[in-house]
């Protein structure tokens, strides 16, 4: 019900995850912290949204996961972009830009 700040708009989470993973392989927990940090503490990624999103992306063949050891020395599953994911992130970002530009046009119309 209440609209908090930090609530994500449907569809943006996939793009954010893909874009961050396009720069570095990360595990879920780290991804969450990275997105929050990069966004300047504006975007909060819920675990309950993140993991389902990762499985979605994996099922679509855009990312792959493998177990490893986190910088903190814990067992963690690291994700990396597949070839398809590298293409998808560019497409989705282009899309996002087109979309926000269109919204902006409506917002500022004369």
Partner DNA sequence: AGGGATACCTTGACTTTCTAGGCAACCGAT
Partner DNA sequence: ATCGGTTGCCTAGAAAGTCAAGGTATCCCT
Indicate which single residue of 20, 28, 34, 92 sits in contact with DNA (rule: CB under 7 A): 28
45 belongs to the binding site for DNA (CB under 7 A): yes
Residue 56: phi and psi, rounded to 5, are -60, -50
Asked whether the beta carbons of 21 and 54 are under 8 A apart, the reply is no
User: In angstroms, rounded to a whole number, what is the distance separating the alpha carbons of residues 10 and 56?
Assistant: 14
* Closer Cβ to DNA, 8 or 38, answer by number: 8
Q: At what angle do helices 83-108 and 12-21 cross, to 10 degrees?
A: 130
* Closer Cβ to DNA, 1 or 107, answer by number: 1
40 belongs to the binding site for DNA (CB under 7 A): no
DSSP annotation of 48 reads H
From the list a second copy, DNA, none, pick the one residue 59 interacts with, judged by a Cβ distance below 5 to 8 Å according to partner type: none
User: In angstroms, rounded to a whole number, what is the distance separating the alpha carbons of residues 67 and 87?
Assistant: 24
Asked whether the beta carbons of 17 and 54 are under 8 A apart, the reply is yes
Binding site for DNA (CB under 7 A): 1, 4, 6-14, 27-30, 45-49, 51-56, 70-77
Binding site for a second copy (CB under 8 A): 3, 5, 7, 9-12, 15-16, 19-20, 23, 35, 38-40, 42-43, 93, 95-96, 98-103, 105-107, 109-110
């Amino acid at each position: 019900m209440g609209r908090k700040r930090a609530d994500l708009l449907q569809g943006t989470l996939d793009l954010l995850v893909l874009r961050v993973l396009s720069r570095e392989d990360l595990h879920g927990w780290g991804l969450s912290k990275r997105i929050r940090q990069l966004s300047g503490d504006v975007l909060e990624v819920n675990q309950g949204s993140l993991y389902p999103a990762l499985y979605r992306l994996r099922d679509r063949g855009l990312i792959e996961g493998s177990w490893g050891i986190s910088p903190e020395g814990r067992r963690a599953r690291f994700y990396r972009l597949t070839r398809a994911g590298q293409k998808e992130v560019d497409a989705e970002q282009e899309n996002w830009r087109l979309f926000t530009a269109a919204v902006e046009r409506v917002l500022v119309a004369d």
